[in-house]
Amino acid sequence: MKKKLQVLISMIVLASMVLVAFVPVAAQEAAPAPETLDAGYAALLSSMVGYNTVKAEDLLVEMASDAPPFLLDVRTTAELEEGGYIEGAVHIPLNELAQNLDLLPAFDTPIVTYCGSGWRATIAMTVLEAMGWTEVRALKATFLDWVAAGNPVAEGVPEAVALNAAEPNADVVAAVDAALSAYGVKPFGVLDAEGLNTALVEDPAMIVIDVRRTSEWVANGVMDTGDVELVNIPLERLVAQMAFWPADKDAHIVVYCGSGHRSTMAMAILWTYGYTNVSSLKGGFGGWVDGGYAVADYVAPDLATPYADMLANMAGYDTIKVDGLLEELATDTPPFLLDVRTTGELLELGHIEGAVHIPLNELGANLNQLPAFDTPIVTYCGSGWRATIAMTALQALGWTDVRALKATYTDWVAAGNPVADGVPEAVVLDAAEVDPAAAVWMDATLAARGVKPFGVIDADAFNTALIESPEMIVIDVRRAEELTENGVVDTGEVALVTIPLEELIAQMENWPADKAAQIVVYCGSGHRSTMATTILWSYGYSNVSSLKGGFGGWIEAGYPVAEYVAP
């Protein structure tokens, strides 16, 4: 077989490998290796860009740069002997990867993995990140396509060179090695659509896991698995929601996504946690549909019922003032305090004495730290905004007595109320059995929206949006008498919808049809609109904001008001 060599690229790549080999370990390591699989995978899933893939044309550009990536070929030795390898690559067969980590560069060195089709490259990328390498991508191309395009290749098998440049945690390495030794050989966990369709009929005890994003479930439907259990957990939240993984590690499990890449990442993750019979669907949901197999609508968890109960039973819109909270804290049955600020805020400013701490974006993944459904809970944050989101979300999940503290943390401290330094230790209670589908759904919502800016839009930005985004939709959730007495925001040509918060669920038919539409919600001060925004988020609306300061803040900023005209 004739090989086309690009000498300049080859020299650069080989030179970079030599340099890596002679840099001391201490100088190369940017951070210590994760001590657990949880930590390694959490870092991977929270930092992915393009699900950590790179196209051939982009790799070629990087290879010709002053800092080319480290290339790792995870095919078998026989494949290299027959077809060669990408010029400059290091070779470690997938099933031997964890046994030859001394051949790899420092943890922070960019690495690109590749194989024959991309399948093994994805597995290798996933487990390398679990072991501590922080910038690993899988080549999104087959080796045959690489060769056919005339890209640089070399014959035979490259000589192994020990770098000893990183020190991964031994326990994590052992878990990865056990998985790859067993499953890093053909068929590498591959299952095609025909095989899955047969298995759905022949093995009703099987479990299918869909790791696409929630928006994909809603827009495209899900696989019709018949009597077989279907579990929906987005890949991004897979480790955070391991509480809902199958209990039996020997269960027959098939994972699917849109095309097969994400499900292969998920499969590799499950392997390293000791699951013994996991496959990834070749071609993913797209391949399943192209094969003519059955699809069903995604049935979202029932949030309407708990939301309706919340809206019907609100007292003071489920807020509590500082004086009221202090009185309750002094009783024999004080409420459960939940701080949803970031860890950094607690380290800097402390927390209310006796509070439990769960950052808002992590709340849905740590429901096991909360008390029973009927326990009184008071949420708080820095200003009250995140507390309102948390209060609303928890009631959707089944907690029946949740209120948000109507005060800033700074005011609490300034008043001399009891505080403690640092971050309280997490304690697992396992006191409430949340519906798994609802927990995963809400977790995905809070993970995406529970970080700055938390859906906040101020009056200035709102006024600008009214001019620049005429397709925007504004929702006023104040009561009818407030509209009549005080007027409404003058939205100009922008559509204004009026639905009292109390009737938000009852009037779902009046919600915008387009869940991607830009929506701004306002009330009198911002609390009710933040509740409404949280509700809309949890129904899949992706671009909803709540007006900071509400209608009152709009007026104080000097923006126009119109008389309310009842329909």
Q: How far apart are CA 249 and CA 246, in angstroms?
A: 7
Lowest mean pLDDT among 8-17, 157-166, 382-391, 447-456: 8-17
Q: Determine the distance from the C-alpha atom of residue 251 to the mean position of all C-alpha atoms in its chain, rounded to a whole number.
A: 25
Q: Which among 138, 74, 146, 59 has a CA at the least distance from the CA of 104?
A: 74
Around Cβ 530, how many Cβ atoms within 10 Å? 30
Amino acid letter for position 82: E
Mean pLDDT, to the nearest integer, of 190-218? Answer: 95
Q: What percent of the chain has pLDDT over 90?
A: 91
Per-residue pLDDT of 10-44, as tens digits, reads 333 333 333 333 333 333 445 678 899 999 999 99
Structure confidence at residue 30 (pLDDT): 54
To which residue do tokens 């639905």 refer?
A: 499
Token duo for residue 333: 């049955």
Mean pLDDT throughout 504-528? 96
Backbone angles phi, psi at 452, to 5 degrees: -50, 140
The whole-number pLDDT of residue 358 equals: 98
How confident is residue 363, by pLDDT bands cut at 50, 70 and 90?
very high
Q: Are 536 and 510 in contact (CB under 8 A)?
A: no
Q: Rounded distance, CA 93 to CA 100, Å? A: 9
Query: For the domain with range 456-562, which CATH number is right: 3.40.190.290, 1.10.3720.10, 3.60.20.10, 3.40.250.10?
Result: 3.40.250.10
Instruction: Write down the pLDDT at residue 321.
Output: 96
Type of residue found at 225: T
Q: What is the rounded end-to-end Cα distance, in angstroms, of the chain?
A: 77
Q: How confident is the model at residue 566 (pLDDT cuts 50, 70, 90)?
A: confident
- Output the pTM of the full model: 0.85
> Would you say residue 137 has pLDDT above 80?
yes
Q: Is the pLDDT score of 429 beyond 80? A: yes
**Confidence label for 565 from pLDDT (cuts 50, 70 and 90):** confident
For the domain covering 304-449, report its CATH number.
3.40.250.10
Q: Kindly state the average pLDDT of the residues 484-509.
A: 96
Q: Whole-angstrom Cα distance, residue 104 to residue 246? A: 34
pLDDT of residue 33: 85
> What is the residue-wise DSSP string for 164-192?
------HHHHHHHHHHHHHHSSTTTTEE-
Domain map of the chain by residue range? Answer: 7-172, 190-296, 304-449, 456-562
Helical pair 119-131 and 261-272, crossing angle rounded to 10 deg:
50
Helix (H, G, I), strand (E, B) or coil at 434: coil
Residues 344-367: what's their mean pLDDT?
A: 96
Please tell me the CATH code under which domain 7-172 is placed.
3.40.250.10
Percentage of the chain lying above the pLDDT 70 cut: 95
pLDDT averaged over the chain? 92
User: What pLDDT is stored for residue 184 in this prediction?
Assistant: 86
Structure confidence by residue, pLDDT tens digits, 244-271? 999 999 999 999 999 999 999 999 999 9
Give the pLDDT band of residue 452 (cuts 50, 70, 90): confident
| Fold equal for 7-172 and 456-562 | yes
What is 190-296's CATH number? Answer: 3.40.250.10
**Residue range 83-100: average pLDDT?**
96
Residues 496-521: what's their mean pLDDT? Answer: 96
